[in-house]
């Protein structure tokens, strides 16, 4: 009997010890989780806390589902097979900078790397850490060295579906091009620095970067908004959040010009400007951003400057969002954009296209390639595989006007479409 009691007592003691250890582990786990959440919370310079777009999706699922496919959202992502467009397949994964020097894209168990070889001997390898660019035109890649960011030497050229040298470095393998906070200001929602403002290269907290141009880039940090709306589900008027639809024309244009306004020299630290602010309070704005000398404005990087020089802009109250829906991936949908041209340019208003050789229904399919053609950039230049002649990337011009040579090309294509349509109708009769 005594032995049974001892066994029972021992079992109780062991049970209590196990329970205690379990509770202690739970407390430690909860504390660690709480600390992890606390340390990864991201706040802007004003102390406003970001919520993250996944949180926004709880109430705005439809917008979130379409936005994650936009070039804005994809303008930067952590490097992974999902986002790296360039091939790592043998025979398709290299770029030869000269007969003796190549760089290869390689995948290992620890990630993706760009590896420099000289005469077949490995000289250097750096990891793909961040992807910049949606992949429509191309992608540039970034790697971490400590708390600093640098550009990798090989670039993915989407038009040819092959590797090329990173723009600006013809014939050279360079791993030392610094990525600055100004770069990240346009390719991310927020990046927190940990160094002195004048230090070069700048130090960043790699755990406090919000990748892509996300919800809170245009609507402001949303944690306070989320907290309020969750506690007050019956309140229909959104509080503690910005709605660009209510902005003035200048505020709307300033928001887009932050990244699509040409060369801006910052007078305040990067990420100081927020949606709704006046751009000139944070940047010295170069003359080409003001919509002057349109012929000298490059098609890359200053869409606002070109648009501002167009009659469509000066004779109306249009903004960038008159034609662009930032929540949708509308890339390449020339007919959709042409329909937006039709809101102002109609036969009834007598400002419609003057071409008589094509029907109105056919003309409505493509205003864009005639009046906003893709033109070569002076700034984005790189080498194609096996070529010594610099290649210029083509971009959609936002200087809206008549381009006679481009119009001839478009007419030829549209005539073929119209003839095919007429033949189809005849065969159906």
Give the per-residue pLDDT at 362: 80
Cα dihedral 187, 68, 275, 266 in deg (nearest 10): 0
Omega into 201 within 30° of 0, i.e. cis?
yes
**318 in any annotated domain:** no
Kindly report the pTM of this predicted structure.
0.85
Confidence at residue 141, expressed as pLDDT on a 0 to 100 scale: 98
pLDDT of 3 reads 46
- Percent of the chain, pLDDT > 70? 87
DSSP string of 295-337, one letter each residue:
GGS-SSS-HHHHHHTSHHHHTS---GGGT--TTS--TT-HHHH
Which pLDDT value is given to residue 274?
Answer: 95
Regions of the chain with pLDDT less than 50: 1-8, 10-39, 291
Instruction: For residue 342, give the nearest of 313, 309, 368, 317 by alpha carbon.
Output: 368
Within a domain: 241: no
139 within domain boundaries? yes
Is residue 127 included in any domain, yes or no? Answer: yes
What pLDDT was estimated at residue 57?
A: 95
> What's the confidence (pLDDT) of residue 388?
76
Residues 360, 366: Cα–Cα separation, whole Å: 11
* In-domain check, residue 97: yes
Number of domains in the chain: 1
**What pLDDT was estimated at residue 347?**
80
Answer yes or no: is 204 within a domain: yes
Residue 232 in domain: no
Residue 240 lies in a domain: no
Structural domain including 87 reads 73-213
The pLDDT value given to residue 290: 57
């Amino acid at each position: 009997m005594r032995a049974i009691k001892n066994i029972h007592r021992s079992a109780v003691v062991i049970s209590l010890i196990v329970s205690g250890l379990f509770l202690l582990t739970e407390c430690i786990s909860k504390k660690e989780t709480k600390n992890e959440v606390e340390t990864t919370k991201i706040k802007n310079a004003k102390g406003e806390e970001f919520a993250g777009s996944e949180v926004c999706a709880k109430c705005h699922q439809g917008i979130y589902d379409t936005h994650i496919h936009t070039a804005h959202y994809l303008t930067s992502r952590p490097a992974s097979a999902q986002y790296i467009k360039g091939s790592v397949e043998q025979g398709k994964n290299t770029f030869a900078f000269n007969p003796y020097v190549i760089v290869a894209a390689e995948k290992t168990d620890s990630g993706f790397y760009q590896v420099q070889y000289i005469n077949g001997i490995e000289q250097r390898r750096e990891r793909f850490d961040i992807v910049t660019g949606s992949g429509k035109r191309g992608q540039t890649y970034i790697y971490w060295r400590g708390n600093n960011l640098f550009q990798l030497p090989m670039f993915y050229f989407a038009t040819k579906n092959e590797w090329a040298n990173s723009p600006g470095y013809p014939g050279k393998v360079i791993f030392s091009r610094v990525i600055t906070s100004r770069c990240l200001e346009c390719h991310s929602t927020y990046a927190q620095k940990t160094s002195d403002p004048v230090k070069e290269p700048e130090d960043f907290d790699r755990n406090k970067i919000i990748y892509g141009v996300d919800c809170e880039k245009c609507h402001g940090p949303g944690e306070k908004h989320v907290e309020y709306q969750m506690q007050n589900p019956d309140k229909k008027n959104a509080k503690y959040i910005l709605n660009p639809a209510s902005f003035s024309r200048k505020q709307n244009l300033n928001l887009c010009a932050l990244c699509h306004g040409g060369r801006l020299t910052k007078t305040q630290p990067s990420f100081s400007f927020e949606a709704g602010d006046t751009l000139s309070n944070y940047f010295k704005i170069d003359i080409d951003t003001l919509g002057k000398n349109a012929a000298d404005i490059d098609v890359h990087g200053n869409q606002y400057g070109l648009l501002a020089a167009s009659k469509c802009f000066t004779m109306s109250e249009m903004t960038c969002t008159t034609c662009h829906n930032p929540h949708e991936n509308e890339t390449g949908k020339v007919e959709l954009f042409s329909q937006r041209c039709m809101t102002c340019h109609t036969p009834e208003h007598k400002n419609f296209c003057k071409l008589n050789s094509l029907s109105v229904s056919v003309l409505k399919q493509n205003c864009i390639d005639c009046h906003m053609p893709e033109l070569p950039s002076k700034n984005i230049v790189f080498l194609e595989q096996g070529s010594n002649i610099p290649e210029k990337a083509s971009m959609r011009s936002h200087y809206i006007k008549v381009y006679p040579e481009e119009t001839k090309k478009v007419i030829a294509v549209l005539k073929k479409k119209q003839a095919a349509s007429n033949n189809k109708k005849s065969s159906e009769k």
